[in-house]
Amino acid sequence: MSAQGNQVTLRTLDQMKQEQTKIAMVTAYDYPSAKLAEAGGADLLLVGDSLGMVVLGYDSTVRVTLDEMLHHTKAVVRGATRPLVVTDLPFLTAHLSREEALKAAGRLLQEGGAQAVKVEGCNGVLENIRACVEAGIPVMGHIGLTPQSVHQLGGYRIQGKDADSARRLMEEAKRLEEAGIFALVLECVPEEVAERITGGLTIPTIGIGAGRACDGQVLVYHDLLQYGSDLKPRFVKAYARTGEEAVRGISRYVQEVREGMFPGEEHTFHLHASVVDRLYGGKGRERP
Q: What is the 3-state secondary structure (H, E, C) of the chain?
A: CCCCCCCCCHHHHHHHHHCCCCEEEEECCCHHHHHHHHHCCCCEEEECCCHHHHCCCCCCCCCCCHHHHHHHHHHHHHHCCCCEEEEECCCCHHHCCHHHHHHHHHHHHHCCCCCEEEEECCCCCHHHHHHHHHCCCCEEEEEECCHHHHHHHCCCCCCCCCHHHHHHHHHHHHHHHHHCCCEEEEECCCHHHHHHHHHHCCCCEEEECCCCCCCEEEECHHHHCCCCCCCCCCCCCCCCCHHHHHHHHHHHHHHHHHCCCCCCHHHCCCCCHHHHHHHCCCCCCCCC
Q: Is the pLDDT of residue 195 over 90?
A: yes
Query: Residue 104 carries which side chain, given as an amino acid letter?
Result: A
Is 178 known to be catalytic? no
Q: How far apart are CA 224 and CA 241, in angstroms?
A: 9
Residue-wise pLDDT for 209-248, tens only, equals 999 999 999 999 999 999 987 767 778 899 999 999 999 9
For 188-196, what is the mean pLDDT? 97
Known binding residue 49? Answer is yes
Confidence (pLDDT) at 276? 86
Catalytic residue selected from 187, 192, 195, 245: 187
Q: What average pLDDT is seen over the chain? A: 93
For 1-12, what is the mean pLDDT? 79
Q: What is the pTM of this model?
A: 0.92
Whether the Cβ atoms of residue 120 and residue 152 lie closer than 8 Å to each other: no
CA dihedral 109, 45, 16, 6 (to 10 degrees): 80
Q: How far apart are CA 251 and CA 235, in angstroms?
A: 31
What domains sit in the chain, N to C, each tagged with a CATH number? 10-240 (3.20.20.60), 245-279 (no CATH)
Confidence (pLDDT) at 153? 52
Confidence (pLDDT) at 154? 54
Known binding residue 120? Answer is yes
Residue-wise pLDDT for 94-105, tens only, equals 999 999 999 999
Residue 263, preceding bond cis, omega within 30 degrees? yes
Known binding residue 174? Answer is no
Known binding residue 283? Answer is no
Residue-wise pLDDT for 16-42, tens only, equals 999 999 999 999 999 999 999 999 999
More confident residue, 145 or 150: 145
For 257-273, what is the mean pLDDT? 94
Q: How far apart are CA 66 and CA 89, in angstroms?
A: 7
Q: What is the pairing mode between strands 44-47 and 84-88?
A: parallel
